Amino acid sequence: MTATAHGARILVVDDERPLLTALVTALESMGYEVIGELKQSDGLSRIISWQPDAAIFDLNMPGMNGVELTAKALEIMPDLPIILLTGFGSIDSSVQAMRTGAYDYLTKPFDLNSIDFTLKKALDHHDQKRRFRLLAEATGRIGEFAGIVGQSPAITKVLDSVHAVADTESTVLITGESGTGKEVIAHAIHTGGSRREKPFITVDCATIPDTLIESELFGHAKGAFTGAHKDRAGHVEAAADGTVFLDEIGEIPLGMQKKLLRFLEERTFVRVGETRRREAHARIVAATNRDLLHEVQVGRFREDLYYRLKVIEIPIPPLRERSEDVLPLVEWYLSRLNRKLNRNISGISATAMKLLTNYQWPGNIRELVNLLEQVMTFHNPEILDVKHLPGTLQALASTLPSQTFSELKEQVLEEAGRNYFQSLLNHFHGNITKVADYSGINRRHIHRLLLEWGINPALFRNN
Ligand SMILES: Nc1ncnc2c1ncn2[C@@H]1O[C@H](COP(=O)(O)OP(=O)(O)OP(=O)(O)O)[C@@H](O)[C@H]1O
Ligand SMILES: [Mg+2]
């Protein structure tokens, strides 16, 4: 968590001047940069001209109320975190406001600490959203490659290759363990070049029966075999100037391999049941998670086809060899799954992240996505922590070699600190000023720690 009050721009819209002035002054004293507006329309103009980092709207205003104002503001700045101030008893409208996309609401009378806390949370959330966007832009740097996350030299090299081959005719072989992203990369090769508007046809060689694969690929004449009721074009023709993706090419039967080789070399083929040679110009991208050289050695794969395919090979390294990518992948999928599963997890603890980075990921990125989806189906914490991860991963914690003494000390101190502040909050009913006075620790610092630990002081208020 990274939010700080310093310099963050906060727009406040409230039609009651005394309240507005009080709030603006208080927020300024906390280190925010603040503009207050009495009129809704002026507030909206400020959003355009001043680009605030967060906004606070009063819910009950004559004319356009806070809910309508929220909707308008989000049209202008979809990422803007908005906090609504609601009078006691107007919970229904605050629920409605949350549905229009407000970030949170506070019920009056509220203390300034809770405003500060909520604002920091909102800013952090905003920050995270912006980071996701930047990440998406960075990974989408080759234009259409959005959806491929990673910053490691290894994935950058893969993307460079994709870029280099996208606009060529060459056949490409993508190799890599299961779940490394072979299909994603095949798509990127297609959409990264001038074929992007043309068909992309996937042929899963592992699931199509041997007897059918030839007619699937090259088509057949009416009556060529039982069930062939009419002439039918195969995928290489249907794809026209697009791409045919031969997934799991290692599974293609030997007889078919020869025909495929000829197609790759001459761009000609014969439909099953015909004798006439036809031409087609679809681009072939193939993928395999098998060791094709081994398949050649044991006689299951033609050597000539192997070398033909291997001319342009894009190997995708397993995730454990590019562990720098685990963090951006986790952040990316947290954000996507938050939306998909209607969760609002804002981050992951350092210890949990360390476990994920050190894990071997035999199922690679697919395993990571599945794991997050599983965890997020059952949990919705503010911060994802070790205790939310599956037992097998938690067990890994004890085997991690790299916890140095100083890291251990830090962890113990953090736990002690957390307990200490929790008991103080309990004692002072969530009043941060009192906690600060008592502990002699700066209030802002306490806020930052609580935010980091995911502790909401408001929860201690009625103790
Ligand atoms: N670089 C990446 N960034 C984000 N998501 C990725 C990335 N690579 C793969 N994924 C995701 O991981 C999952 C597996 O990817 P994909 O199906 O392309 O793997 P694969 O290598 O074809 O696996 P298999 O060999 O099992 O068919 C998909 O959900 C995909 O969206
Ligand atoms: Mg695949």
What pLDDT, on a 0 to 100 scale, did the predictor assign at position 396? 82
- Between the CA of 134 and the centroid of ligand 2 the distance, in Å, is 28
A 10 A CB-CB count for 231 gives 14
Q: Ligand 1: which of 158, 184, 200, 292 to mutate, judged by most atoms within 8 Å of the beta carbon? A: 184
- Between the CA of 324 and the centroid of ligand 2 the distance, in Å, is 22
Q: Is residue 118 part of a domain?
A: yes
> Is 155 in the same domain as 183?
yes
Q: Ligand 1: which of 316, 365, 369, 371 to mutate, judged by most atoms within 8 Å of the beta carbon? A: 365
Q: Is residue 436 part of a domain?
A: yes
Domain termination residue (choose one: 109, 139, 169): 139
> Is 16 in the same domain as 91?
yes
- What DSSP assignment string belongs to 374-422? HHHHH---SEE-GGGS-HHHHHHGGG-TT--HHHHHHHHHHHHHHHHHH
Closest CA to 185 of 314, 312, 289: 314
Closest ligand 1 atom to residue 289 Cα is: 25
pLDDT in tens, 147-189: 788 888 899 889 888 888 888 889 999 999 999 999 999 999 9
What pLDDT, on a 0 to 100 scale, did the predictor assign at position 93? 65
Range of the domain at 157: 144-317
Q: Which ligand is nearest to the CA of 289?
A: 1
CATH number of the domain encompassing residue 265: 3.40.50.300
CATH number of the domain encompassing residue 340: 1.10.8.60
A 10 A CB-CB count for 327 gives 15
Residues in the ligand 1 pocket, defined by CB under 6 Å: 148-150, 176, 178-184, 289, 329, 365-366, 369
What pLDDT, on a 0 to 100 scale, did the predictor assign at position 140? 47
- Between the CA of 191 and the centroid of ligand 1 the distance, in Å, is 16
pTM above 0.75, yes or no: no
pLDDT in tens, 387-421: 999 988 888 877 765 555 666 667 767 777 788 88
Q: Is residue 192 part of a domain?
A: yes
pLDDT in tens, 269-299: 999 999 999 999 999 999 999 999 999 999 9
Average pLDDT on 100-123 reads 82
Domain termination residue (choose one: 264, 289, 317): 317
Q: Is residue 216 part of a domain?
A: yes
> Is 306 in the same domain as 433?
no
Q: Is it the case that residue 14 has pLDDT exceeding 70? A: yes
Q: Is residue 3 part of a domain?
A: no
- Between the CA of 35 and the centroid of ligand 1 the distance, in Å, is 46
- Between the CA of 184 and the centroid of ligand 2 the distance, in Å, is 8
Nearest-angstrom CA–CA distance, 123 and 8:
8
pLDDT in tens, 243-263: 999 999 999 999 999 999 999
Nearest residue (by CA) to ligand 1, atom 26, is: 178
Closest ligand 1 atom to residue 365 Cα is: 12
Q: Is it the case that residue 139 has pLDDT exceeding 70? A: no
Nearest-angstrom CA–CA distance, 166 and 172:
10
Nearest residue (by CA) to ligand 1, atom 24, is: 178
> Is 264 in the same domain as 149?
yes
Long-range contacts of 14-23 (CB under 8 A, 24+ apart): 14/38, 14/56, 14/57, 14/58, 14/61, 14/85, 15/39, 15/58, 15/61, 15/62, 16/58, 19/58, 23/56, 23/115
What pLDDT, on a 0 to 100 scale, did the predictor assign at position 221? 95
Closest ligand 1 atom to residue 185 Cα is: 18
Q: Which residue has the higher pLDDT, 380 or 460?
A: 380
Q: Is residue 2 part of a domain?
A: no
Q: Is residue 99 part of a domain?
A: yes
The fraction of the chain above a pLDDT of 70, given in percent, is: 89
Q: Is residue 425 part of a domain?
A: yes
Radius of gyration for the alpha carbons in the chain, expressed in angstroms and rounded: 29
CATH number of the domain encompassing residue 128: 3.40.50.2300
Find which of 104-113, 230-239, 452-461 is predicted with most confidence, using mean pLDDT.
230-239
Average pLDDT on 111-136 reads 72
Nearest residue (by CA) to ligand 1, atom 16, is: 181
Average pLDDT score over the chain: 86
> Is 254 in the same domain as 192?
yes
Q: How many domains does the chain have?
A: 4
> Is 155 in the same domain as 243?
yes
Closest ligand 1 atom to residue 186 Cα is: 18
What pLDDT, on a 0 to 100 scale, did the predictor assign at position 129? 59
* Coil, strand or helix at 155: helix
Peptide linkage before 362 cis (omega within 30 of 0): no
Report the largest interatomic distance among the alpha carbons of the chain, rounded to a whole angstrom.
Answer: 92
What pLDDT, on a 0 to 100 scale, did the predictor assign at position 87? 74
Closest ligand 1 atom to residue 176 Cα is: 21
In one-letter notation, the amino acid at residue 136 is A
pLDDT band at 300 (very low <50, low <70, confident <90, very high): very high
Tokens, residue 33: 């940069």
Window from 27-31, 43-47, 73-77 with minimum mean pLDDT? 73-77
- Please state whether beta strands 172-175 and 313-315 pair in parallel, antiparallel, or not at all (unpaired): parallel
> Is 164 in the same domain as 311?
yes
Closest ligand 1 atom to residue 178 Cα is: 25
Please give, one letter per residue, the 3-state secondary structure of 236-288.
Answer: HHHCCCCEEEEECHHHCCHHHHHHHHHHHHHCEEECECCCCEEECCCEEEEEE
What CA–CA distances, in Å, run from 399 to 355, 363, 403? Answer: 10, 20, 10
Closest ligand 1 atom to residue 180 Cα is: 21
Nearest residue (by CA) to ligand 1, atom 8, is: 181
Residues 260 and 305: beta-carbon distance below 8 Å: yes
Domain termination residue (choose one: 378, 399, 420): 399
Average pLDDT on 71-75 reads 89
Closest CA to 159 of 170, 178, 169, 174: 174
- Between the CA of 166 and the centroid of ligand 1 the distance, in Å, is 19
Q: Ligand 1: which of 366, 367, 370 to mutate, judged by most atoms within 8 Å of the beta carbon? A: 366
What CA–CA distances, in Å, run from 275 to 278, 281, 350? Answer: 9, 19, 65
> Is 312 in the same domain as 333?
no
> Is 287 in the same domain as 212?
yes
> Is 274 in the same domain as 343?
no
> Is 170 in the same domain as 297?
yes
> Is 106 in the same domain as 134?
yes
What pLDDT, on a 0 to 100 scale, did the predictor assign at position 144? 37
Nearest-angstrom CA–CA distance, 53 and 77:
10
Nearest-angstrom CA–CA distance, 13 and 34:
11
Residues 317 and 159: beta-carbon distance below 8 Å: no
Window from 129-133, 206-210, 237-241, 276-280 with minimum mean pLDDT? 129-133
Residue 232 phi, psi dihedral angles, 5° rounding = -145, 135
